[in-house]
Structure 1
Amino acid sequence: MDGKSRSGDWALLSDWALDLIFRKLPSISDCLCFSLVCKPWFSFVSNNYDVLQQRINSSSIEELPLLINFTDEDICFAAYPLNRCVGSSHGWLAFQQRGFDSFFLFNPFSGETINLPNLKIYTDKVTLSKNPSTNPHDFEVAALCKNLDRGESLAILKPGNKTWFRISFRGRRPCDVIYYNERYYVVFTEGSIFSIDNTDNPTVRHEIAPPPSMYTVLEFYLQFYLVKTTTNELLRVERSPPSPSSSVKICKLVTSPKTQTSMFVDVDNLGDEALFVCHNGSTSVSASKFPGCKPNSIYYMDRSYTQSRFDNFHYSVDHINLQDRSSHTQFSFFQKFNIAPRALWIIPTPKVTTTS
């Protein structure tokens, strides 16, 4: 059988067979590649757009995080050279202009841009409640802000609003924020965690995790991150440099069945989860769905200043095996000090459209 005959056989698969294949594809990228096999397969996807949209909206479909290292030649940096990248969430990047004159979201996979009301204050981290590509009128933006006069705070932008709602932390220093189960969770540099009610006036705060016992000594060395797993559990990842493996500690949020109070408890094993952690945005995937991805592991991206190369930061991606506490650096690279965005993890979330 020649090549043309084999190609014809694939093109003549029934819709029933194509549907079986399509529903077993593990990632959005695979779904998009499926539509490029041949014209009949593209027609199948176009005629079943609602199924594809449902797959994208479904929490069961996962993408392996990509590492973006912004350089002078990078498309995002070339388009926005005067902006700082201040977050990666749901496949979108948040940018703030150095002079605080603009604030916007950018999807590097679809090219979409969403302008936000100006937040005329230094922003350290941005997270989104939902994916704007699939929830264009029902997503919120939360930003950790720093101000020498007013202290550090959390700014929240509600759908349709043109002004930010500010929550002051009164001298405490937040290091990460996440939207989880209709609430905001903020972890501070000493390791304590507050939850914030997501209402029209989100001022009710509850402390659900006290700081580690040695935080007064190690506060300036500990690093904390909040990550949601694929099984919808909230984790606090604690790391004390310079040793990336033995100094990692993980806790998860649980609710007492008797008192209905929330607390964080230690976790020794992540099972099939693989965490991708960095300052600008962390995520988790099911390792078994991606060949080469190791379960019960953390892929941790760290940044350090290099005195020998005055104008550079040194980035490294370390794989940490939580079972035997081993670690090794998968790769490392240098980034120019004056480049506005940082290297970060991002989940591909293209906007799917059909042609008439």
Structure 2
Amino acid sequence: MVAKGMRWYLTAAMSLAPRYEQYVGTGSCGGGGFLRRWMAAISYSPRTITTASNKPPLVSPWLKIPPVGGSHFYSLAENKVKSLLPLSSETTDENDILCIGSSHGWLVFQSRGIDPSIFLSNPITGHRINLPSIHSLYHPPDDVNKRLFSIRSIILSSCPNENDCRVVIIYYSRQGEKLAFCTTSGGLTTSTTWTCLPSPLTDYCNIVYSRNHQLFLALTEDLDMESWDLRDPFSPKRVVIEGLKCEDVEEEWGRKERLSVQHNYLVPDDSSSNGDLFFIHRYVAEHVQPDGSVVDPTESEDHIGEDLPYKTWKFQVFKFDLTDKQLWYLDDSLEDRAIFIGLNQSFLVSAAADFHGLIPNSIYFADDYPLIPDRSFGGHDVGIYNYKDKTLKPCYFPCDPNNIKRIEPCPLWFTPN
């Protein structure tokens, strides 16, 4: 007898079979072969990727790669590129749209123009969900049409096909980066406008959703954190969270640390009984020469105006208990987890060793710097950081400074759903 949950997976696999047959350029790993391995994996893998949906993705995460209108993904499990059906012809002009995020198996696109549109697209099913116009925000940025994109980050509380999904964005406003949300249910948008979330905080840099706590958790550049309960969309509830700020781990800071900027991320672990939250520091050297050395353009006239790439080289990870507000530094182990950060909704895989192609105790990172026109670099900062031995390795794209090229649009992590 097949368990109820297993019947759901088998039904889903069968229903998606025609879609997977559209894979091209995968040789013996075409639709049928991939689907057979995909379904075979269901029978022995009880582990899940930690997202807000209670239906786990069935394969290891993919890395979305250019072009923007196509659906090309690098599969970690198979070490090759998969190609799905592209967006419909009305939305494939690469000059008019940009992929700005991913969440729960859906990609997020924004178009540019007089009235920029935002929509969700499932590259596996082909389903599209239009979201409210950016102009419904109370304080849209003055140069909304001139920006490469006007949304810094976007996440979903669940798959938008489920009931009562909440979509939250960090958007650029005249007051800095602020928060707004809308709702979807059953694969349809149930909001006609974005609702701004009132808060004295500004300059948000990261937001995640904790399924265990049923809360959105937002982080600012100043490391202030707050939670939002959006279960009742007509009465959002905000709570300030203390205790997250921490001093850098005691260590000798050298020249490389001083010439680096720090990006911060929240990553929920909904597989843990108490809903642990991970707090991540990402160190990015701003000016790296082809030989890997870091330079300060202000120290020598030789480097003024020189177009040098930035590069991630180090991470620090902390575990934060939302209940007792305690913060612990994780020295050299992520306890078999793999963490994924970038423009995508941050997530982790528990028991990563059970997923083919994943390296336990590693951070898979993608570039989330805004792409600057007329620069030789951007979108290139992609790789795998082994947290145990503190080493870096490439992931599809080269990470050697001597071989770095501009990648547009920025790659991002995607969980097939």
The two structures have a TM-score, normalised by structure 2, of 0.61
Q: Which of 63, 67, 70 in structure 1 is aligned with 2:63?
A: 67
Q: Which protein is bigger by CA-based radius of gyration?
A: 1
Match of 1:158, SS state, is strand
Name structure 2 gaps, 5 residues minimum: 22-30, 40-50, 71-85, 141-149, 185-189, 249-256, 286-310, 399-403
Task: Determine if the alignment matches structure 1 residue 238 to structure 2 residue 305.
Answer: no
Name structure 1 gaps, 5 residues minimum: 1-15, 45-55, 350-356
Contact map agreement 1:106 1:113 (CA 8 A) in 2: yes
- Partner amino acid, structure 2, of 1:157: C
> Residue 266 of structure 1 corresponds to which residue in structure 2?
329
- Partner amino acid, structure 1, of 2:151: T
Contact map agreement 2:364 2:384 (CA 8 A) in 1: yes
Match of 2:380, SS state, is strand
Change (3 A) 1:190 1:29: farther
Change (3 A) 1:210 1:289: closer
> Residue 127 of structure 1 corresponds to which residue in structure 2?
155
> What is the alpha-carbon root mean square deviation over aligned residues?
4.0
> Residue 315 of structure 2 corresponds to which residue in structure 1?
248
Contact map agreement 1:88 1:127 (CA 8 A) in 2: yes
- Partner amino acid, structure 2, of 1:321: N
Change (3 A) 1:61 1:102: closer
* Cα drift, residue 111 of structure 1: 0.7
> Residue 106 of structure 2 corresponds to which residue in structure 1?
92
Change (3 A) 1:299 1:95: same
In structure 1, distance between residues paired with 2:369 and 2:117: 28
> Residue 384 of structure 2 corresponds to which residue in structure 1?
319
- Deviations 1:65-88 (CA, angstroms, capped at 9, x unpaired): 111112267234962531222221
- Partner amino acid, structure 2, of 1:126: I
- Deviations 1:45-67 (CA, angstroms, capped at 9, x unpaired): xxxxxxxxxxx964555431111
> Residue 12 of structure 1 corresponds to which residue in structure 2?
none
> Residue 221 of structure 2 corresponds to which residue in structure 1?
189
* Cα drift, residue 211 of structure 1: 3.1
Task: Determine if the alignment matches structure 1 residue 281 to structure 2 residue 339.
Answer: no
The two structures have a TM-score, normalised by structure 1, of 0.71
* Cα drift, residue 347 of structure 1: 0.5
Match of 1:152, SS state, is strand
Change (3 A) 1:196 1:282: same
* Cα drift, residue 224 of structure 1: 1.0
> Residue 144 of structure 1 corresponds to which residue in structure 2?
170
Task: Determine if the alignment matches structure 1 residue 291 to structure 2 residue 319.
Answer: no
Contact map agreement 2:208 2:345 (CA 8 A) in 1: no
Task: Determine if the alignment matches structure 1 residue 118 to structure 2 residue 150.
Answer: no
Change (3 A) 1:251 1:314: same
Task: Determine if the alignment matches structure 1 residue 207 to structure 2 residue 270.
Answer: no
Q: Between Structure 1 and Structure 2, how many residues are aligned?
A: 302
Deviates more, 1:62-71 or 1:167-176: 167-176
* Cα drift, residue 281 of structure 1: 2.7
Q: Which of 120, 144, 155 in structure 2 is aligned with 1:105?
A: 120
Change (3 A) 1:158 1:30: closer
Change (3 A) 1:224 1:279: farther
- Partner amino acid, structure 2, of 1:161: S
* Cα drift, residue 131 of structure 1: 0.6
* Cα drift, residue 145 of structure 1: 0.9
- Partner amino acid, structure 1, of 2:153: K
